[in-house]
Structure formats: structure tokens, C-alpha cells
A = this chain, B = another copy of it.
């Protein structure tokens, strides 16, 4: 997906929020925001992919402000909240009939967990509402039945998105394993926004559930094959199906040829992504690209 006019406002305002989180030094904030203007003047266009701009932008802000992880507190809080809810969520999912329905419910949990995203303009979230959302929300695009038959007994790679959300992904890993799958979970190699890193995976206990825990080898949002490590590519080569989480994955995967079936699970948190995939803002999406 290419950037739209509307993305300019979101790219800038989320960058501004990151600067605000990264430092309290007014002079440094001003310096960083001027560099942010210059970066966006050079990089923003309707040929650019938002997740790519966002990744480079966030890197620039971390460098200028000298704060390697502006979302550290947000991530810790979201992990903690999600962990507290996990037993309740697991019970809710396990109350569904085993098989397709339970897998679908686990996918729903994984998407509702994707709501946890600060600093997206006009998008508010509350991780604690996940239980009520589970019974009230459904998918606007639902390719889960196809995905269900596709993953049976296969090697699956989950590309994780945010901290907090990664706790809910445990439920999905558990279901996949019951279906005879081998599950590799990939997180970011370094902090970027509130995306889950190895630390977050350990905090929520993903390391104990996944068959393998790896990193993308990079701090880039979504999945850009030109930005990941050789080790990650080797793992990708070995897997049969990819389950990719979040809008960054949607934005990036729709611009590349990925030679594996990919189920992209996300909540459409902004108008440009919602319009691109053909749903309304706030809708839940499970779109299979194969």
C-alpha cells in the first residue's frame, strides 16, 4: 500500500508524539522536530510505503533524541495488562468447539489484541476491553476458513506486531500447536515504536509456547524482505504459511511478492488502510494472500 495525503498528518503527528515521549528537553525536541520536517519533505510521497517511512522516521528520532526506546514504559504497561487478561481470554477461546471455531476465535483474539497501538491519530485503545470486544466484534474480511485448512500440520511463522498484543498471540500459537503445527514467532531485533522485541516475548512467556523464537534481524515495521536478516530469510524459506500481524505488515506485504501464503490479521486503525483493503475504520481484517 502506498501513502495517501492523509498519511502525511499521521506520519508527522506520530513522529511528534514519539519525540515528546523520547525527551523532555525543549531544545532537543525542537531540533528533532525540524529534522522530522526535513525527513518527511525528502521521503514522503505517494510512491512511499507508510511502514517504511515510519521505520526510518522512528530510527531518526531515536538517534537525534538519544533515547533508544521511547515506548519502553508503554510496552511494559501493555504487556502487564495483557498478561492479567490472558487466563480469561484463554477460557473464552477454549469454550468454543475444538477445531475451526476455536482457531477462528484465537485469530479474533490476535486481531483484537492488535488494537493496542498508541499515537495513531484518532485511534484510542483499551487493552482491558478485549473480553467484551471478543463477543461483540467480528471480521469485516474473513478468510480464516481457508487459512484453517491451509495451516493443518504445517510449519507456520507468526510475524508479531506490538507489545501487549504478543501476549494474546500466545492463544493463537497454542491453537496452532494443537493442530499439529510447528510455530516460529518473529519479533523485532531492536526497539521501534511499541513493537514487540525479544524482551517482550520473554516477559509474556512466548518463548515457552512457540517452537522457535527469532527476530526479523531489523527494527523495520511490517515485513520488508530487503530489510531483514539472512537468518530470518532462511526461517521464512522453511515455513509453509505466514501469519502476519498489523497494519505495517499489510502495507508492506501488499507491495512485495512473498512466495508463501500469508494470512494478515489486523484491525484497520486508520482510513487509508481501511479504504485500501475495502473495510471501514475500526473493522477487523483476516485477509489471506496466496
Contact = CB atoms under 8 A, between A and B. Distances in A.
A16 B16 CA distance: 15
A102 to B, nearest CB: 43
Given A4-B26, A8-B16, A37 B34 contact: no
B16 A9 contact: yes
A29 interface: yes
A136 interface: no
A182 B34 CA distance: 46
A34 B47 CA distance: 13
A198 interface: no
Contacts of A13: 9, 12-13
A277 interface: no
Per DSSP, are chain A's interface residues mostly helix, strand or loop, or mixed? helix
Q: Give the number of copies in the complex.
A: 2
A38 interface: yes
Interface in A12-53: 12-13, 16, 19-20, 26-27, 29-30, 33-35, 37-38, 40-41, 44-46
Kindly state the interface size class of chain A when it binds its partner: 20 to 34
Nearest to A28: B5
A20 B6 CA distance: 9
A49 to B, nearest CB: 14
A29 B5 contact: yes
A23 to B, nearest CB: 10
Given A26-B46, A41-B38, A33 B16 contact: no
Nearest to A26: B5
Contact of A34 (B9, B26, B30, B41): B41
Contact of A41 (B9, B26, B37): B37
A8 B40 CA distance: 14
Given A37-B40, A41-B38, A30 B46 contact: yes
Contacts of A9: 12-13, 16
A38 to B, nearest CB: 4
Contacts of A41: 34-35, 37-38, 41
A30 B12 contact: no
A45 B9 CA distance: 20
Contacts of A44: 30, 33-34, 37
12 contacts: A5-B20, A5-B26, A8-B16, A8-B30, A9-B16, A12-B37, A30-B44, A37-B38, A37-B40, A37-B44, A38-B41, A41-B41
Interface of A: 4-5, 8-9, 12-13, 16, 19-20, 26-27, 29-30, 33-35, 37-38, 40-41, 44-46
